[in-house]
Amino acid sequence: MRIHVQNPADETVFPITPQQWDAAIARAPDMADLQVSFASDDAGFAAAMADAEAIVTWTKVVHQRFPKGALPGVAPKLRTIFCTSAGLDRLAPFDWLPEQMTLLNNRGTHAAKAGEFGIMALLMLANHVPWFAHDARQGQWAPRFASVLAGRTVCVVGLGSLGGAVAARAKQFGMHVIGVRSSATPHESCDEVVAQSDIDSVLPRAEFLLLACPLTPQTRGMIDARRLALLPRGGKVVNIGRGALWDQDAVCDLLESGHLGGAVTDVAVPEPLAPESRLWRTPGLFVTPHMSSDDPATYNDRSLDIFFENLRAARAGQPMPNRVVPDRGY
């Protein structure tokens, strides 16, 4: 099978290297017959697309190289597109994807890192760290005391790789975990799970709310001003999903009004945030620059392992576990 790896031309932290590929093959000897090429430029891409059957690449490359109508023309033999991202909202709507082609994401890659970031964010909020960051700008030593997480309630929206890992850490710290996902199917790390359509019923109990779901037409704008107001006074919020999942101006407004007790967000609209954005200046809000879930020490290794698991499933006539369902958006 003929595979092509197309790295973005400007990528310095996460390019997939031939060494990483060889190491992944060493972990998956049944994949040793794959023929692979690497490129980061136009010429390498064009040459490879003549006979590539699968491409391993970035959402931004897919967005740029496969506009609506380009496929199958630019890559006549291509059947599988593997994106090294979990959230493919940038590629929606999926009308550029021919029906016979399979789009895969790398969900599973981010779990360990996302779980650590998530519990860190909950601990930072419990410990008033976003407020201390603002006090520091004025050189103000202003103690606020804090309680442990045990026994407190967190609502985790999205129970995939990211949210599931955060829920597991939250349980480890003795929290009461309410999960929210598309259906109310139980989850091993949650004390309760409700369907997204029932989220309003649990928000009044959510001392902490953490967003870790994909951005789809069903989740866009889900946490609006009305739902933020349903949180108990002093409620604390985290977003490691996508900025458009919530109304970020409403988050700022409710921090300023005192209804919210703190916020940590790793995502924003737009990214990068402009220097003049109010998100940088709102007391109680801590911004990290979209780095919560990507561990450079393991990212490409895990992505390639997951890619090979999917090829293995296809060879065995099984469904590919990372297949993105275009109508669902993830």
Rounded least distance, CB 276 to its own copies, Å: 6
For residue 48, count other CB atoms closer than 10 A to its CB.
Answer: 21
Element (H, E) at 194: strand 192-195
Measured in degrees and rounded to the nearest 5, phi and psi for residue 101 equal -105, 145
296 binds its own copies (CB under 8 A): yes
Residue span binding its own copies (CB under 8 A) among the ranges 82-90, 239-247, 254-262, 272-280: 272-280
147 binds its own copies (CB under 8 A): yes
């940038």: which residue's tokens?
A: 90
Contact 114, 87 (CB under 8 A): no
146 binds its own copies (CB under 8 A): yes
Residue span binding its own copies (CB under 8 A) among the ranges 89-97, 224-232, 269-277, 312-320: 269-277
Rounded least distance, CB 273 to its own copies, Å: 5
């960051």: which residue's tokens?
A: 133
> Which listed residue (58, 294, 304, 320) binds its own copies by CB under 8 A?
294
> Which listed residue (18, 289, 319, 321) binds its own copies by CB under 8 A?
289
- Helix axis angle, 129-137 to 111-126, nearest 10°: 70
Contact 7, 40 (CB under 8 A): yes
86 binds its own copies (CB under 8 A): no
Site string for its own copies, 110-139 (x = CB under 8 A): --xx--xx-xx--xx-xxxx--xx-xxxxx
CA distance to 18, 28, 138, 285, 292, per residue, from 134 (Å): 45, 49, 7, 9, 21
> Which listed residue (295, 301, 305, 309) binds its own copies by CB under 8 A?
295
> Which listed residue (32, 43, 297, 316) binds its own copies by CB under 8 A?
297
Rounded least distance, CB 203 to its own copies, Å: 23
Q: Is 234 left (phi over 0), alpha (psi -120 to 50) or beta?
A: left
269 binds its own copies (CB under 8 A): no
The CA distance from 81 to 97, in Å, is: 10
The CA distance from 52 to 100, in Å, is: 15
- Collapse the DSSP code of 109 into the 3-class scheme (helix H, G, I; strand E, B; otherwise coil) and give the result: coil
Residue span binding its own copies (CB under 8 A) among the ranges 37-45, 85-93, 154-162, 295-303: 295-303
Binding residues for its own copies (CB under 8 A): 13, 112-113, 116-117, 119-120, 123-124, 126-129, 132-133, 135-150, 172-173, 268, 271-277, 280-281, 286-292, 294-298
